Amino acid sequence: MKFYRNSWEIRLVRLAVKALSNAEEVFIIGYSLPEADAMANFLISSIQFDTRVKIINPSADELRKRLVNIFGLLRENIMDENSRLEEWIKNDCKYIAYEKTIKNEAMINQMVEDNRN
């Protein structure tokens, strides 16, 4: 149990609650959200039930079950990736590069098509 005695700590918690309660999407990266972490559980409880949540964690399945069963979040809005942060970043960067390549190819094809006409 951590005691929040400094005003900046209390402000930080208030800002986190406000941000989480207004968020359209929340990422939980590398954290298993243990039951003993009262503050983290309190913060998670401020997430709206229909907010999209992305979990990047080797034990994401277990955390997803807790988010649905304990916090009442919508199962279909929770995406999980059973990987470590480094692996997720590597995979995500590959996907971004792929999307950029596809976009560039479409632009080049459009320019070629425009020149034909």
pLDDT digits 0-9 by tens, 13-70: 999 999 999 999 999 988 888 888 889 999 999 999 999 999 988 888 888 999 999 9
Residues 48 and 70 in one domain: yes
More confident residue, 96 or 47: 47
| Residues spanned by the domain of 90 | 85-117
What's the total number of domains in the chain? 2
Q: If you average pLDDT over residues 1-14, what whole number do you get?
A: 85
Residues 55 and 93 in one domain: no
Q: What is the pLDDT of residue 46?
A: 95
Residues 89 and 78 in one domain: no
Residues 51 and 73 in one domain: yes
Q: What is the pLDDT of residue 86?
A: 76
Given a cut of 90, is residue 82 above it in pLDDT?
Answer: no
Residues 55 and 77 in one domain: yes
Alpha helices in 1-117 (DSSP H): 7-22, 38-45, 60-69, 85-116
Q: What is the pLDDT of residue 1?
A: 65
Three-class secondary structure of residue 29 per DSSP: strand
Return the exposure string of 42-63: e unless at least 16 CB atoms fall within 10 Å of the residue's CB, then b: ebbebbeeebbbbbbbeebeeb
Q: What is the 8-class DSSP label of residue 8?
A: H
Residues 58 and 104 in one domain: no
Residues 1 and 22 in one domain: yes
Euclidean distance between CA atoms 35 and 20, whole angstroms? 19
